[in-house]
């Protein structure tokens, strides 16, 4: 283990920076410290940590393995839905039990169950629990769903796609289709997840009504930080050593890897599924902090944003992706949340809530063209002693090397 950190110094630095950040936020948070930061800002920071985790997963899929998945936010959203089902069920159950306690005849379990259904699905004109909610009463089972549902979707989708050797832009389109289809399906009331209303009130943890949101926010912040730290460690381990060598080989020339005897499809499937599961876990931590999840969250654009974060942060290095997600998503909430002052040009006033996307688009183009290493590239200036050559490809035969023209005899 010590040699792992010695060979991957950036991991130790990242974890140290994360620990210091957690300490700083804890000291400034309303529940545990001075209260310099507001509860909602602590939640924003906690959510940002979850986005950083999913960006790290995206970097493993895209930056290391070369699969430009534009569907990983579907797994993130599914994780959120899975935890949200339990949160809604358990909290509604408590409320119903409370209100029925005054009734002259104690309610039967069926009556409670029906009343919960009425409460949750009344908004979509239904009262029956769809089969989907079969495990929603149980926290451990629903927690297992957080892992299993995104994991199985990733496994099945990946198996179908990789087995047919779909690669490159076609695979990206396919992943977009997957996330779009899932989002459209969930928009339907019949899908059983409350259609476009989504699941709400997720910030209220069942049985913890007495605990103020300021305290819950710092709990989730800690939880998200721990998840990011562990996820980072996991992926750093996966991409180091021989596994990292093989998946980078697949990125650069998958046919060559095949002829070395590696079953490329299994490797892609392994990476795709593992990152899908971690994305689901990140989503399960994100949405209780966001408070609401609806199908718009897994619209195709969400996954494209994810790719943009990773590209701006710097592909092929985990800390780059994490930084990209943090910087872009925090800037995004600053610009769109009215934090950035409008710029009055006399004839026209730049209103950042409208112009932020344009700015983001321009920075994406600029980074792609001018600084392909992204934000993470800044660290190369003072850390890497052996930079990877910019140029790949043949340097041509040596001077003086013997060359013959095909079909001609030696002269």
Q: Which two tokens stand for residue 84?
A: 């949200």
Q: Which two tokens stand for residue 341?
A: 């002052």
Would you list the DSSP string of 339-375?
-SPPEE-SS-EE-HHHHHHHHHHHHHHHHHHH-TTTT
A 10 A CB-CB count for 198 gives: 21
Block residue for tokens 């060979």: 7
Task: Note whether 394 binds other proteins by CB under 8 A.
Answer: yes
8 A C-beta contact, residue 299 and residue 216 = no
Q: How far is residue 16's CA from residue 377's CA, in Å, rounded to a whole number?
A: 20
Task: Note whether 110 binds other proteins by CB under 8 A.
Answer: no
Task: Note whether 219 binds other proteins by CB under 8 A.
Answer: no
Stretch that binds other proteins, among 133-141, 332-340, 361-369, 385-393 (CB under 8 A): 385-393
8 A C-beta contact, residue 191 and residue 185 = yes
Q: Please say which residue, 101 or 391, places its beta carbon nearer to other proteins.
A: 391
Stretch that binds other proteins, among 19-27, 246-254, 288-296, 349-357 (CB under 8 A): 246-254
Q: Which two tokens stand for residue 279?
A: 């994305």
Q: How far is the CB of 265 from other proteins (least distance, A)?
A: 9
Task: Note whether 1 binds other proteins by CB under 8 A.
Answer: no
Q: How far is the CB of 275 from other proteins (least distance, A)?
A: 14
8 A C-beta contact, residue 73 and residue 177 = no
Among positions 155, 248, 330, 380, the unique one binding other proteins when judged by CB under 8 A: 248
Task: Note whether 159 binds other proteins by CB under 8 A.
Answer: no
Q: Please say which residue, 100 or 243, places its beta carbon nearer to other proteins.
A: 243
Task: Note whether 6 binds other proteins by CB under 8 A.
Answer: no
Task: Note whether 409 binds other proteins by CB under 8 A.
Answer: yes
The residues near 279 (Cβ < 8 Å, ≥ 6 apart) are: 53, 54, 57, 58, 72, 73, 75, 76, 79, 150
Task: Note whether 351 binds other proteins by CB under 8 A.
Answer: no
Task: Note whether 238 binds other proteins by CB under 8 A.
Answer: yes
Task: Note whether 404 binds other proteins by CB under 8 A.
Answer: yes
Q: How far is the CB of 253 from other proteins (least distance, A)?
A: 6
Task: Note whether 385 binds other proteins by CB under 8 A.
Answer: no
Chain positions 254 to 313 lying near other proteins, rule: CB under 8 A, are 255-264, 266-267, 270
Q: How far is residue 83's CA from residue 75's CA, in Å, rounded to a whole number?
A: 13
C-alpha distances out from residue 348 to 162, 337, 342, Å: 50, 20, 10
Among the listed residues 187, 186, 231, 223, the one whose alpha carbon sits nearest the alpha carbon of residue 78? 186
What does the DSSP 8-state code read for residue 61? I
For other proteins, the binding residues (CB under 8 A) are 238, 241-243, 245-246, 248-249, 252-253, 255-264, 266-267, 270, 386, 388-389, 391-398, 400-404, 406-407, 409-410
């Amino acid at each position: 283990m010590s040699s792992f950190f010695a060979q991957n110094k950036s991991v130790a630095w990242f974890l140290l920076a994360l620990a210091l950040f957690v300490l700083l936020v804890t000291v400034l948070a309303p529940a545990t410290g001075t209260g310099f930061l507001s509860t909602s800002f602590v939640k924003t920071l906690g959510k940002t940590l979850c986005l950083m985790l999913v960006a790290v997963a995206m970097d493993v899929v895209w930056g290391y393995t070369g699969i430009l998945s534009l569907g990983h936010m579907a797994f993130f959203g599914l994780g959120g839905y899975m935890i949200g089902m339990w949160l809604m069920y358990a909290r509604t159950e408590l409320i119903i039990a409370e209100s029925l306690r005054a009734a002259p005849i104690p309610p039967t379990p069926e009556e409670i169950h029906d009343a919960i259904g009425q409460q949750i699905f009344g908004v979509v004109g239904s009262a029956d629990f769809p089969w989907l909610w079969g495990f929603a009463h149980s926290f451990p089972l629903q927690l297992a769903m957080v892992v299993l549902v995104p994991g199985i979707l990733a496994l099945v989708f990946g198996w179908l796609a990789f087995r047919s050797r779909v690669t490159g832009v076609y695979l990206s389109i396919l992943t977009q289709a997957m996330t779009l289809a899932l989002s459209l399906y969930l928009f339907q009331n019949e899908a059983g997840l409350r259609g476009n209303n989504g699941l709400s009130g997720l910030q209220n943890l069942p049985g913890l009504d007495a605990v103020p949101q300021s305290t819950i926010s710092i709990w989730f912040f800690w939880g998200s930080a721990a998840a990011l730290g562990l996820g980072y460690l996991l992926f750093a381990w996966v991409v180091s050593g021989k596994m990292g060598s093989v998946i980078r080989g697949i990125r650069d020339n998958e046919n060559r890897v095949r002829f070395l005897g590696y079953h490329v499809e299994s490797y892609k499937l392994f990476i795709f599924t593992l990152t899908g599961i971690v994305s689901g876990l990140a989503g399960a931590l994100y949405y209780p902090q966001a408070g609401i999840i609806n199908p718009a969250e897994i619209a195709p654009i969400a996954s494209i944003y994810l790719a943009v974060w990773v590209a701006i942060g710097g592909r092929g290095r985990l800390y780059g992706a994490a930084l990209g997600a943090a910087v872009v998503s925090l800037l995004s909430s600053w610009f769109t949340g009215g934090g950035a002052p409008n710029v009055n040009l006399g004839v026209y006033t730049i209103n950042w809530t409208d112009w932020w996307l344009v700015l983001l688009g321009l920075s994406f183009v600029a980074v792609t063209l001018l600084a392909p290493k992204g934000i993470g590239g800044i660290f190369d200036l003072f850390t890497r002693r052996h930079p990877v050559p910019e140029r790949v490809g043949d340097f041509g035969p040596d001077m003086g090397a013997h060359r013959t023209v095909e079909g001609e005899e030696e002269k």
